[in-house]
Chains A and B, each alone.
Chain A
């Protein structure tokens, strides 16, 4: 219910089809660098969705070995070469996009939900509730991000779900802070005061009036953080704490490729790393562009 009303509001308030000069979309379209990031993200999502059709070796992409073809350098048949088990690296990279995207979306999705709820509650109630929630948030923010995730992942059984869990544990506090700041500003608005005045319960007020009005910036931030989440997962996989074989995963592929790189077999680690780099960069380019269009100061115009 909440989600539907959010999207209605979002769509209803904006004129997507008419781009007015000087508007955010207008600035964004003129920003070739950010637009490049956006296009890269679309390509990445498309290749993740259609990985099975894009490669002639979908089974190898899913992890089936083909030993007779092992360690072949890049050729027209295998543009990115093959790995130690004879699997087409391009197919693995394409399927790796699936892993990265689903994992990234799970990390950010769960974190956004936790963060929005906690932040909305903290900002709405204030007082000791706020104090308790924010001090707990501070504690989790006190850890250098990768270290806590590494330790938690090492304690748990190695699996994609546990790696996602470990990263989520370090990820939610950022959205809690964002949601709280937003909730505090919404709390003072008239429609919230009116709702409380006519006796709407606190729970309903948070659900119907606070959350829909604070969710947009959190969702935007979450989308932009996908790149960082994907990069963190890859780091865990590179350390051997992430996605176990045979699932295709960029971080694990760089890890495997590392063992062969000094023997001159550079392709195994290079291509998945490149995919990782481009994906993270695409999200960051988009984020940078959005920041420029939403803050005139960064654009260097209004003073």
Chain B
């Protein structure tokens, strides 16, 4: 299969999955609970209101027709109105999403910067104390409930030590005295390019705890992936040859072996992203981080289920696209993938 053919096939499959995802959310929102109008209006709706909304939402039409409408609307970005904010969900998301993405991006960078070297060292010192320790710590990292860890860190760093803020993305003072001009929506980036270092420092401080909690899982995953693949690479004959040729251990580990050893870690970036973004939902709630997760939490409290559907759809589509990109990148780097040699389950 040529590069282009593979890409085309993969994009086609991605589109099919997106249609399928729409079908699932459609079925859950329109069929399962019985009455979407009641869902839309909440529990205190009068029969008249229900009738009106049913007309408005086109609920009297046959299901396939409704589904076509639903797909068309979603593709146009019309995810409906938020029951609570009375604004289009997409508009709300445009404000919320950058906050979440900033958190997720910093988390994933941290996962690679910390996770990869630790994994490499674990492989190099296999079975030694460092490796055993990192094994227990990483298993702990994938097991710890993020919302609980978040509370404990708040207790320690805010309540007892008073070193870090309790939550939020930036303090009110800073927002008032040194407002961040929106360019990318990432405060760290925007503050840096506008030279607003007071705001930069403030938003960085706010980010420490959420990022620490959120990265527990991705870091652990990166360590374990890197370690496992490095153990394989380090037993290759060319590594032995390099040792015989007198390369230093550092050069062998981080220059020679890592080049091949890091590939599997990069391929799980999609998975890391998925875990970071779902983890963000819980972490944002505890830290009052004004992103998508808090938006969902508010929606849950207000029975605003259309917001939940909207966010789920948007995030799922982003996730599918990320996976697609990772696959294409992998295929470009490694011909075996598009030739179908990878054991596909």
Residues on A facing B (Cβ under 8 Å):
33, 135-136, 138-140, 142-148, 150-152, 154-156, 177-178, 180-181, 227, 231, 234-235, 238-241, 251, 254, 257-258, 261-262, 264, 266, 269-270, 273-274, 276-277, 280-281, 283-285, 288, 297-298, 300, 303
Contact = CB atoms under 8 A, between A and B. Distances in A.
Interface string B130-163: 0010011001101111011001101100010000
B159 A264 contact: yes
Contact of A144 (B23, B278, B305): B278
Contact of A261 (B140, B151, B323): B151
A249 to B, nearest CB: 13
Interface of B: 13, 16-18, 20-21, 23-25, 28-29, 32-33, 39, 126-127, 132, 135-136, 139-140, 142-145, 147-148, 151-152, 154-155, 159, 166, 228, 231-232, 235, 274-275, 277-278, 281-282, 285-286, 296-297, 299-301, 303, 305, 308-309, 311-312, 315-316, 319-320, 323, 345
Give the 3 A-B residue pairs with the shortest CB-CB distance, closest first: A273-B148, A139-B20, A281-B143
Contact of B20 (A136, A150, A251, A269): A136
Contacts of A283: 143
A116 to B, nearest CB: 15
A277 B300 contact: no
B145 A280 contact: yes
Given A151-B309, A154-B308, A276-B148, A235 B345 contact: no
Nearest to B293: A239
A238 B28 contact: no
Contact of B285 (A135, A155, A180, A239): A239
6 contacts: A135-B17, A135-B20, A138-B17, A155-B33, A258-B286, A261-B155
Contacts of A280: 143-145
A115 to B, nearest CB: 12
Contacts of B228: 298
B319 A300 contact: no
B312 A235 contact: no
Contacts of A151: 25, 28, 305, 308-309, 312
Contacts, number: 156
Contacts of B309: 151
Given A238-B282, A277-B143, A281-B143, A261 B154 contact: yes
Contacts of B32: 152, 155-156
B16 A135 contact: yes
A154 B316 contact: no
A277 B145 contact: yes
A235 B139 contact: no
Contacts of B28: 151-152, 155
Given A33-B135, A139-B20, A284-B143, A254 B231 contact: no
Given A142-B21, A147-B311, A231 B305 contact: no
Contact of B300 (A154, A266, A284): A154
Contacts of B285: 239
A284 B142 contact: yes
Given A142-B21, A147-B311, A261-B155, 13 more contacts: A139-B17, A142-B323, A143-B312, A144-B278, A144-B316, A148-B316, A155-B305, A156-B32, A231-B143, A239-B281, A239-B282, A261-B159, A303-B235
B345 A181 contact: yes
Contacts of A147: 278, 281, 311-312, 315-316
A146 B299 CA distance: 16
A143 B166 CA distance: 31
A152 B27 CA distance: 11
Nearest to A291: B228
Nearest to B20: A139
Contacts of B345: 177-178, 180-181
A269 B299 CA distance: 24
Given A154-B308, A234-B145, A258-B286, A284 B301 contact: no
Contact of A146 (B127, B159, B281): B281
B20 A143 contact: no
A297 B299 CA distance: 47
A235 B28 CA distance: 21
B81 to A, nearest CB: 17
B161 to A, nearest CB: 14
Nearest to B316: A143
Q: Chain B CB within 10 Å — which of A145, A147, A254 has the most?
A: A147
Nearest to A134: B345
Nearest to B166: A262
B20 A281 contact: no
A300 B122 CA distance: 12
A280 B316 CA distance: 26
A232 to B, nearest CB: 10
Nearest to B317: A142
A150 B281 contact: yes
Contacts of B231: 297-298, 300
Contacts of A143: 21, 24, 312, 316, 319
A273 B274 CA distance: 23
Contacts of A257: 151
Contacts of B152: 270, 273
Contacts of A241: 300
Contacts of A264: 159
Contacts of B18: 142
A172 to B, nearest CB: 13
Contacts of B25: 151
A283 B140 CA distance: 11
A250 to B, nearest CB: 8
Contacts of B126: 300
A147 B305 CA distance: 12
